Structure 1
Amino acid sequence: MIISVRRGLRFIRFIVFFAALVYLFYHIMDFFNGWISPVDHYQIPAGNAIKVFQETDWPGTGEARPTMAERLRLFYWYGE
């Protein structure tokens, strides 16, 4: 079996060039991922914003707790 040094060096050069392009493409895609990725919608609200269906400790039991319909009415009333 004849092993050509020139062909071996060409193959090694191809592998190094291919790895460099893959590395460059990965970092370009990583840059665009950080730029395009959506904002975390489940983060804690800031300012006057509130989470509508956040569990709270309501005083009392039974009648003192608002029903789901009342909570939904308040949700639409505030225009969220």
Structure 2
Amino acid sequence: MVISLRKLKDWCQFILLFILFTLLLYQLISFLTPLFKPDFMYKQPAGGAVKVFAYADRSSPSSFLEEVKERLLEFYWIGE
């Protein structure tokens, strides 16, 4: 089996360039990541924020089940 030195050189050059560009892309992505990251994800909302849920009186389990059933049917009907 004859191994061509030219083909071996081309393969080595390809592998070297692939590794080099992969590392370059990784460095570029790690450099740009902080630019798109939010400052603080868990801060209190400001402005016209809407409260998503309200605490309900859960005195009886049957009322809770009825409420869950009602909400589920509304979800399936409207799709939201």
What TM-score do you get using the length of structure 1 for normalisation?
0.49
Pick the structure with more helix per residue.
2
Which structure has the higher relative contact order (CA within 8 Å, separation 6+)? 1
